[in-house]
Amino acid sequence: MNLKIELIVSDICVIPSLAKEGESIRVSIGIQHDFDDILDLCAGKLSNDEIAFIYRLWGDDEFPRTFERIGPDLKITAREI
């Protein structure tokens, strides 16, 4: 997958958001949100493969991920192998 996909979990996010620009997708959620909120946000806007990738970022413990804390946000991305 050539896309750059980021999942941002924020201490201060109240309303989930999705930004898709070119080869970049950013999903931002709050700590109170769950994967159902991500599905509601992305349904019809992203492909099944893109949603599956976000799911792996969200909760697949075997998926190599990078976690980076930036202020109130935790940025989760796929680790390059």
pLDDT digits (tens, 9 = 90+) for 17-76: 999 998 899 999 999 999 999 999 999 999 999 999 999 999 999 999 999 999 999 999
Q: What are phi and psi of 9, to 5 degrees?
A: -110, 120
Q: Is the pLDDT of residue 9 over 60?
A: yes
Q: Is the pLDDT of residue 81 over 90?
A: no
Please tell me the pTM assigned to this model: 0.89
- Rounded CA separation 27/42 (Å): 9
Query: What is the predicted pLDDT for the residue at 22?
Result: 87
Query: What is the predicted pLDDT for the residue at 3?
Result: 79
> What is the total count of domains within the chain?
1
Q: Domain span at residue 18?
A: 4-78
